[in-house]
Amino acid sequence: MRYFLLIAAAVIAFGATMTVGPTDANAVVCARGVHRAGCAGYRGAVVVRKPVVAGCRWVWVGGVKVRRCY
Give the burial class of 39: count Cβ atoms within 10 A of its Cβ; 0-12 exposed, 13-18 middle, 19 or more buried: middle
Domain residues of the chain, as ranges?
2-69
Q: What's the pLDDT band for 39 if we cut at 50, 70, 90?
A: confident
User: Which of 15, 46, 17 lies closest to 30, judged by CA?
Assistant: 46
Which is more confident, 53 or 4? 4
What does the pLDDT read at residue 59?
A: 92
pTM: 0.30
